[in-house]
Structure 1
Amino acid sequence: MSPDYLPFHPTPRKPSFRAPCGAVDAHCHVFGPEKEFPYSPLRKYTPCDAGKEYLFALRDHLGFSRNVIVQASCHGTDNRALIDALKAAGDRARGVAVVDVDVDEGSLREMHEAGVRAVRLNFVKRLVDSLSWDDCLNIVEKIKPLGWHVVVYFEAPDLEELKPLLQQIETIIVIDHMGRPDVARGVEHPDFLNFIKLLDENDNIWTKVSCPERLTQQAPDYSDVVPFARALVERFPDRVLWGTDWPHPNMASHVPDDGALVDVIPNIAVSEQQQRSLLVDNPTRLYWQGRSSGKPT
């Protein structure tokens, strides 16, 4: 484990908010265990082990039904820990893989059988060495026959640079963590308005209203992040997802309590219909009903 790495909260509280039946934690990870699933030699951090048993216990403790497990950079393009967790979960989990440009059709179909429904393109430079745009577009072409979508991770200052790439991707795109806005600037700042404009102009782009712990200056209530997430839920009710981001890799400010994160949900999705769309209908449509490309797989 990296010397400055903060392990996940060992005893998260039971949330007061009761998630609707069928709720999905649509952004979480599994790490290792390292002895069974070694971390990538190219990784830029070493996490603590956080295997599938811990994740599934947290799912049940928080009152959720299913998970979308996202491959994290510490495992690189070795998706074995992800696939192992998906097979153990059965129909209660779906996955987002990270692949090389030379990935073959057989490997993709094996991942699909295990429950993978998307690939992740990571452009956060402190975490990965990003692929070229040509490589990204080649990967997108390879996943189209499977009906997969694309999950994109970037930070707010990089949006303008990435817009031309995003506009070339015809599948559904899910942007991680609201594009990581600087919440100190407020929801009326041109940077966040530009993000909203991106979604307004591209109805194939969704976003996760997740990770207030990464954006906040007001932990542990995250009240400074709430207006951003609420604005997106209200404007794009059918294109938003929510997730814990457990086990919260590379947190520097604090170790978030996952029960407290769940209790933020009714502040960003204030009606029962918004909560159901955010937690049940949207992730079910995208990950369990074969709608990643807008047509059946």
Structure 2
Amino acid sequence: MPTTPGPHRDFAAPDVVLPEGACDAHVHVFGPHGRFPYAPGRPFTPEDVPLEVLQEMHETMGLSRAVLVQTAAHGTDHSAVLDALRRFPGRYRGVALLADDVAPAEVAELDAEGFCGVRVHFAPHLGAPPSADALARLVDLIAPHGWHLEVHTMGTGILDFAEHYPQLDIRVVLDHLGRFPMPVDRSPAEHQALLDLLDEQDVWLKLSGADRVSTDLPSMSDGLALARSLFEHRPDRCVWGSDFPHPNTHGFMPADRDLVEGIAVIAPTPAERRLLLVDNPTACFDFDAPAGVDETATTHRRDA
């Protein structure tokens, strides 16, 4: 039985018009568990929200590409994400969860299927954070494939990760606005650490999770204001994600239409929306460039 609620499923089209090739940089797929079982010992059990439901949401909102992030509910069994990558080549990229004893051959196989990163957690409810040695081993495994290290932090986790960052010679993508306690003046050290990381050469940020950090619900005004300020700080290093289907959410469940409408707050102009939703994710996740993207203006870790 599910231990966390599922998303709203009555999708409604937003008023904001998204650019062609718009990317949702942070989503999950769950099950169906009869085909893709959930992991034993998982920290939560979601409702089944398979790929077809995600695609219905994206079609309604005007999103055509996505980064599928492996979830703790499925553990290190990537079958559901692999199914999506194989059925729709080029439309999706994958972010993995890797076991401590993962073999290089498995990473190579995932790379060949369309994975481009691995996620680690500095979030207490998802277990102990990785040690410096574990991070170093991960970097050694994924760097030859041009993958990024995706970092999910909560609370003071951004400070903990910042201590490791100088030893990591790899692209880093930070999740969910850093996910420190709001308002910002309650977490000045965490906010500054996030800004400092964004000023590094190859650190990116997902402007996702406005609903998770906001103290002003249902408007999410403070979360969206934070996202806007971070986008203004580094417009060349931000991508946007819905976090659909909003796993492990308790209490307020955002409507995806409202999250997409929030893009107009984060990136008010068509040029900013194209940068946030098309150009930046193309560069960050090694998508093929859609029409109108100048590939010579992007820097890919694979080409470095």
Aligned to 1:149: 148
CA contact (8 A) 1:172 1:293 kept: no
Distance in 2 between the 1:71 and 1:173 partners? 17
On the 8 A contact 1:207/1:240 being kept in 2, the answer is yes
| Aligned residue number for residue 76 of structure 2 | 77
SS at the partner of 1:74? coil
Inter-CA distance 277–92: structure 2 relative to 1 (3 Å threshold): same
Deviation of 1:186 after TM superposition, in Å, equals 4.3
CA positional deviation for 1:294? 2.8
How many equivalent pairs are there?
295
Q: Distance in 1 between matches of 2:6 and 2:87?
A: 24
Decide which of 223, 227, 230 is 1:232's aligned counterpart.
230
Give 3-state SS (helix, strand or coil) of 1:167's partner.
helix
CA contact (8 A) 1:170 1:204 kept: no
Q: Secondary structure at the match of 2:44?
A: coil
Displacement of 1:286 = 1.7
Could you say what secondary structure the match of 2:285 adopts?
helix
Task: Indicate the RMSD between aligned Cα atoms, in angstroms.
Answer: 1.9
Which string of whole-angstrom CA distances, capped at 9 and with x for unpartnered residues, describes residues 66-94 of structure 1? 01000011111111111112112211111
Equivalent residue, structure 2, for 1:160 = 159
Is 1:38 matched up with 2:37?
yes
Q: Which runs of 5 or more residues in structure 2 are unaligned? A: 289-297
SS of 2:86's partner is helix
Equivalent pair of 2:281/2:287 in contact (CA under 8 Å): no
1:120 shift after superposition:
0.6
1 CA distance for matches of 2:135 and 2:98? 10
Aligned to 1:296: 303
Q: Distance in 2 between matches of 1:292 and 1:2?
A: 42
**1:268 aligned partner:** 266
Q: Could you say what secondary structure the match of 1:156 adopts? A: coil
Q: Give 3-state SS (helix, strand or coil) of 2:250's partner.
A: coil
Aligned to 2:201: 203
1:149 aligned partner, one-letter code: H
Change beyond 3 A, Cα 1:125–1:230: same
The one-character-per-residue Cα deviations of 1:113-172 (angstroms, maximum 9, x if unpaired) are 211000111121212343333122101111111111110001131222222212211111
TM-superposed CA distance for 1:243, in Å, is: 0.6
Give matches, 1:85-124, under 5 Å.
Answer: 85-124=84-123
For 1:133, the aligned partner's letter is: A
Whether the aligned pair in 2 keeps the contact of 1:148 and 1:292 (CA below 8 Å) is no
